[in-house]
Amino acid sequence: MIGVRQRFTGPILYVTHDHVEAMSVGDALAVLVEGRIEDVGEPQRVYDSPGTIAVAQFLGERPMNLLSDGDAIAGIRPEHVRLDAGGALRGRIVRREPTGADAYVEVETPRGTVVVRVAASGDARAGELVGLDLPPQHVRRFDRATGIAMA
């Protein structure tokens, strides 16, 4: 695709179902779900601040974590969550999935399952009770009824 972009000077519309491909080749990204445009923007903005829960769940190696948060749904990407003994949200690791340099651990909490990206060399193990740090600057809130991001 890069070679094609170098030969043409005008806009190119490229359609793919592969979110990684879409993120890597596009200057702008439009995410369609069931024929409706859910979000449009620069790929990194759409990834970091998805406009809807559907987009949050579509983009990423792992979907955005979605947690019950009173009248809203709180979303945070696995790479932004940290295992932290002092973290206010507590849970038990139920699964660890090594993927090479990284691993993903699933933590069952009272607010829902949280997937955390950790170093593969880390010592997080299934059955372990852990605390989680969810940095507020990385939390995205969605309206529970509509699934649309809240300001």
pTM, full prediction: 0.87
What are the residue ranges of CATH 2.40.50.140 in the chain? 65-151
Q: Read off the pLDDT of residues 30-83 as tens digits, 9 standing for 90 and up.
A: 999 999 999 999 999 999 999 999 999 999 989 999 999 988 999 999 999 999
The predicted-structure confidence for 71-93, as pLDDT tens digits, reads as follows 899 999 999 999 999 998 999 99
Six token digits for residue 88: 């206010």
Phi, psi (deg, nearest 5) at residue 140: -115, 130
Nearest to 47 by CA among 19, 18, 17: 19
Nearest to 43 by CA among 68, 60, 64, 57: 60
What does DSSP assign to residue 63? P
- Which CATH architecture best describes the domain 65-151? Beta Barrel (2.40)
